[in-house]
Every structure is written in C-alpha cells, then in structure tokens.
C-alpha cells in the first residue's frame, strides 16, 4: 500500500516551483488582495528589489505575497521546505516527529517543531460541519487515555478514576465508513460527553458506545443506542461493536507513543487534529498522498497563530 513520495518533484527543491505550486493551491481562481478582498485590481509587482511572488493591490495600495494571512506569513523557512514537511506529515500514517523533520530538512530542531505545529494547525478542522451519521448509519463513540504506562492501558474503564490520573483523555466519534471527530476532554462524565454527542451526531444514527455509566442515559437522545460490554470481554455482537473506533485509537496511540513520545496537554488537540485529518483523508477513501497534502496546504489560510510553549513563554512567530 505504500505510495511513492516523489522527492524529486521541483516543488520540493526549486523555490519558484514551490511558490507557484502554493499560489495555485491558495488562489485557484487567481490572486486576490488579502487586505481588502479585491480580485480584479491585483498586479504583479515589477522590479527586482522585492523578489518574485509579490503582488500589489491597486485599490488599497498594499503589497502582499500568497503567504499573507496564512501560517506561512512571516516565516523564514523556504516554501520548498514547507511543501516537503507537509508532504511528509501527510504521507506517513503515524506522523513524523520534529526530530526527524529537523534531520531531513536541515533545520534547527526548534524551527522544525514550530513548523510541525503550524502544519498541524492547517490540518485541524476548526469548526466541525454537519453532524455525523443519520438514519441507517452507525456511529461509534469512545474515549481513550493518552500517555501513561502501557500496563495501565487495558484497565482504562474500570480504573479511570485512578489509572486515568496524569493522562489526557481523547473522546472520538466515528461514523462507520465515514469520518472521525476527536475531542480533548477534561473528564468522562456524562455532563462533559453528552453535549458533544448531541451536537456532533445526528439523533437518527445507530450509536454504539460501551456500557460505562456516562452513557447510561444516552438512549434519551439517541433511541437507536446500543452498548458493548468491554469489561466481560464482549467486543462484537452483530452491528453493536466498536471495532472502528478501537482501530482508530490503535493508530492514534501507536503514533503518539511511538513517534511523538510525549504530547503535552496544551497541544493534544493539535495532534488529535492531525490524526483525524489523515484518517478523514485516508487512502481507502481514494485520497492520494498528493491530494491529502494539497488539502493540508489549503488549510493554512486564515490560521496565522502563535503558540505558547508548555512553560508558558510566548513563542516568537519569527522563530519559524
């Protein structure tokens, strides 16, 4: 199933090719002014002082490049490396660490770290769309603990009050044959999970959860609710199974523990966004690596952000 990553593509080596590639993704209908929105009064900026890729708006008289208003804005990283890093993160099922990006791209580790965080932000769906599921469709919901020791993993339900300590909780909803939406939640109480279920899942769906207490009253919102009793080793009972979400968690956990080793509480939502993105744009839905990468690049628009590091210091946008 491994698809070839064509690292000889000029978009990864030639600055002009990378810029034109990005412009074509950012502006499929031609350049527009990111400041005033004008489309038909934009001209390329002549002269050599600014270098190629600069445009000028004849309406508001501002100058800009395609990077303005995106996570690439103010970045000193060449566009070739943004394209390559995005491709690598989109093409590897379990993700790629900042250490590996640092070695492969020849950038300082800190720069690679910020870069990966920005790419993740491009992958993240800031506002989930229409609810998952619907009449005749199955949606599985489950929670999992991220981090902590291997030996605690299987006892997650019975020992959640104790075994869950020091771990972060991901709550995922998956439509079978469809998309996943993961949430970083503070606890697994009904008060926390119910509003997410109600907002994100069509009530006509066939909803499958385990039989934990927090799902006891789910039937009121979802008449076609079925439970799976994991504590007695029951995993498959006809369509009442949670195999889909369980296998999603397997990829997520292998990725986070094997590739990223440690994910801070502050950034977990970005990692969840990354894994959700790759799952939702997966090969079995006929999405190629190239198409997935283009989608991730499209996502950089309107997401210019600065990150706080775990120690609370504001990260300088200039360092990436």
The residue ranges that bind Zn ion (CB under 5 A) are 33, 35-36, 38, 57, 59-60
CA distances from 237 to 211, 215, 240, 242 (A): 13, 18, 5, 10
Distance separating alpha carbons of residues 44 and 148, to the nearest angstrom: 54
Q: Is 225 helix (H, G, I), strand (E, B) or coil?
A: strand
Beta 138-146 vs 168-175: how paired, if at all? antiparallel
Q: If phi over 0 gives left and psi between -120 and 50 gives alpha, with beta otherwise, what is residue 95?
A: left
DSSP state of 204: T
Q: Minimum CB separation from Zn ion for residue 41, in Å?
A: 7
Let me know: does 140 contact 174? Beta carbons within 8 Å: yes
Q: Minimum CB separation from Zn ion for residue 217, in Å?
A: 53
Q: Minimum CB separation from Zn ion for residue 27, in Å?
A: 14
Q: Which is nearer to Zn ion, 35 or 128 (CB)?
A: 35
Q: Minimum CB separation from Zn ion for residue 45, in Å?
A: 13
Distance separating alpha carbons of residues 202 and 177, to the nearest angstrom: 15
191 burial class (0-12, 13-18, 19+ CB within 10 angstroms)?
Answer: exposed
Q: Minimum CB separation from Zn ion for residue 18, in Å?
A: 25
Q: Minimum CB separation from Zn ion for residue 36, in Å?
A: 3
Q: Which is nearer to Zn ion, 38 or 287 (CB)?
A: 38
Q: Which is nearer to Zn ion, 37 or 51 (CB)?
A: 37
What tokens appear for 216 in the block?
A: 């006891």
């Amino acid at each position: 199933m491994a698809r070839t990553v064509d690292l000889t593509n000029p978009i990864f080596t030639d600055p002009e090719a990378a810029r034109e590639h990005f412009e074509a993704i950012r502006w499929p209908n031609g350049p527009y002014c990111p400041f005033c929105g004008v489309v038909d009064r934009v001209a390329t900026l002549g002269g050599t002082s600014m270098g190629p890729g600069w445009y000028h708006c004849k309406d508001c008289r501002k100058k800009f490049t395609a990077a303005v208003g995106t996570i690439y804005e103010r970045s000193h990283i060449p566009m070739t490396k943004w394209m390559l890093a995005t491709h690598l993160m989109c093409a590897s099922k379990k993700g790629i660490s900042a250490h590996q990006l640092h070695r492969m791209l020849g950038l300082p580790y800190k720069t690679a770290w910020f870069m990966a965080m920005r790419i993740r932000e491009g992958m993240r769906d800031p506002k989930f769309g229409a609810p998952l599921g619907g009449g005749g469709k199955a949606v599985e919901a489950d929670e999992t603990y991220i981090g902590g020791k291997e030996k605690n993993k299987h006892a997650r339900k019975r020992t959640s009050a104790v075994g869950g300590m020091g771990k972060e909780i991901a709550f995922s909803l998956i439509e079978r044959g469809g998309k996943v939406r993961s949430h970083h939640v503070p606890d697994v109480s009904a008060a926390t999970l119910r509003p997410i279920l109600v907002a994100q899942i069509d009530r006509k769906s066939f909803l499958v959860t385990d039989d934990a207490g927090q799902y006891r009253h789910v039937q009121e919102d979802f008449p076609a609710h079925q439970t799976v009793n994991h504590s007695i080793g029951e995993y498959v009972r006809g369509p009442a199974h949670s195999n889909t979400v369980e296998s999603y968690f397997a990829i997520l956990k292998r990725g986070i523990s094997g590739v990223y080793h440690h994910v801070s509480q502050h950034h977990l939502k970005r990692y969840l966004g990354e894994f959700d993105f790759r799952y939702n744009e997966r090969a079995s839905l006929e999405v190629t690596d190239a198409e997935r990468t283009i989608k991730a690049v499209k996502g950089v628009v309107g997401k210019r952000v600065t990150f706080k590091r775990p120690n609370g210091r504001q990260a300088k946008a200039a360092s990436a």
